[in-house]
Amino acid sequence: MKRFFTLFVASLLYFTFTATAQEEEKKEDALSIGGAVRFNIHDKSWNNDATDPQFTWDTWRLNVDATVSEIDLSFEYRFYPVDNAHFLHHGWLGYAFGDDVYMKLGASQVPFGITKYASHSWWFQIPYYVGLEDDYDMGIKFDYTGIENLTINVAYFHQPEPQGAPNYAGRYSYDITPSATASLKETNQFNVRAALDVTENIEIGASGQIGNNYNSVLDENETSIALAGHTVADIGNFNFKGEYIYYNYGAKNDAGIDLDKVQMGAYGYNYNVAAEATMYVAGLAYSIDVDWGPISNIQPYIDYSRMEKAAQGYEATEHLVPGMLITAGSVYTYVDYAMGKNNAWLGQWTNGLAEGVADDDWNARFNINIGYYF
């Protein structure tokens, strides 16, 4: 796989350089500094806390984007006061090899499935919570656009994004984390993604991912794979996102026994996830332009995803989020009523995404997230 990746990238760069026959206009040096502050109001159906609903400081973040000598920099660091966590979201150096090939070196988004998000709501879809939506890892990525209406992404990620605080699970996107019985770490991951614009408003695509889950006690690797097919369509004011995903996170515990579930973590927290599963994702949104003072757009939506696990006796996970996004200048407000069965962030924390609970009830969280971006 490494030899194939090296030959592919070398060929890509060769054809890019030979196809660029004339001197291109150089990019000007630039620097932009920004960020965001977000607040949350929520009320949980499974929480008997008399202080609900609660108002919390969700996030603040710092963004830096720059260009010097035609080399780009993009960096984002996030702080989550409620979780006592802070970590890198992304940080990469970019360089354009002609018009058709762009390289990112560092912590960048993994090219898999629908990018940037497979969701419309603040809550993402189930793939995010198992590391397969808006995931970031450390490595090198090439985006190729030299074929009309087709984008090809090829990437190699040596490891997950750098650890933040308070522990190994201090990170933005979900990765396998070491547990008391399984000393695991993701490594040597390869990704290929192709997205075709069938029409100006319809995209279809396919993705493949293969890597290793390394056990440091056994000093052995197990193969991890994921496959996806997706479509994104804009029809009038409607936007539809649909996706199918299969994954198998092959892994062994420290005693050499194959695992039906692995520990994953982000935001400083860990929970268990089925080692093999199939997921179905669908979301529909409708954009409405308005002129109500500072409010310029309202986008109602409904997102649904389902996770069916391969291990015998493991219960399915469901995720349903009706809501709306309200845009007012630089202020974006998500109003969601998130519902879930056997869902880690919706009432079944430790094993909801693993074995789950038979005949689990729908748990719900009413959530308003208000973000000011600058």
Segment 334-360 shows an average pLDDT of 97
Whether residue 300 is predicted with pLDDT greater than 80 in this model: the reply is: yes
Its pTM stands at 0.93
Residues in CB range of 17: below 8 A, 6 or more apart: 97, 98
Residue 58: is its pLDDT beyond 80?
yes
* Residue-range domain boundaries for the chain: 2-17+31-373
Q: Looking at domain 2-17+31-373, what is its CATH homologous superfamily? A: Porin (2.40.160.10)
Q: Which residue has the higher pLDDT, 276 or 46?
A: 276
Query: Average pLDDT for residues 346-368, to the nearest whole number?
Result: 97
Among residues of the chain, what percentage have pLDDT more than 90? 90
The arithmetic mean of pLDDT across residues 257-264, rounded, is 98
Model pLDDT, residue 21: 41
Indicate whether 269 pLDDT > 50. Answer: yes
Number of neighbours of residue 268 by Cβ within 10 angstroms = 19
Residue 23 has what pLDDT? 46
- The single-letter code of the amino acid at 59 is T
pLDDT, tens digit, 9 for 90 and up, residues 168-217: 999 999 999 999 999 999 999 999 999 999 999 999 999 999 999 999 99
Q: Greater confidence, 14 or 224? A: 224
Query: What is residue 22's predicted lDDT score, i.e. its pLDDT?
Result: 43
Other Cβ atoms within 10 Å of 147 Cβ, number: 11
275 pLDDT band, cuts 50/70/90, is: very high
Cα dihedral value 195, 197, 201, 204, nearest 10:
-40
pLDDT at 19 (0 to 100)? 47
Residues 357 and 272: beta-carbon distance below 8 Å: no
- CA 310, CA 85: separation in Å to the nearest integer? 33
In whole angstroms, what is the distance from residue 347 CA to residue 116 CA?
Answer: 27
The answer on pLDDT for 124 being more than 50 is yes
Residues of the chain with pLDDT > 70: what percent? 93
Amino acid at 146: G
pLDDT given for residue 8 in this prediction: 52
Q: Is 361 helix (H, G, I), strand (E, B) or coil?
A: coil
The whole-number average pLDDT for the span 317-324 is: 98
Amino acid (1-letter code) at residue 73: L
pLDDT digits (tens, 9 = 90+) for 277-289: 999 999 999 999 9
Q: Give the mean pLDDT of the chain.
A: 94
With 0-12 / 13-18 / 19 or more C-beta atoms within 10 angstroms meaning exposed / middle / buried, residue 277 is buried
Residue 186: what residue type?
Answer: E
**DSSP assigned state of 126:** G
Whether the pLDDT of residue 99 is over 60: the answer is yes
Provide the pLDDT confidence category of residue 27 given band limits of 50, 70 and 90: confident
Confidence of residue 48 (pLDDT cuts 50, 70, 90): confident
Helices assigned H by DSSP within the chain: 2-19
Predicted local confidence at residue 49, as pLDDT: 75
Q: What is the DSSP string of 17-58?
A: HHH--SPPPPPPPEEEEEEEEEEEEEEETT---TT-SEEEEE
pLDDT tens-place string over residues 1-23? 556 555 555 655 554 555 444 44
Burial 168-202 (b: 16+ CB within 10 A, else e): ebbbbbbbbbbbeebebbbbbbbbbbbbeeeeeee
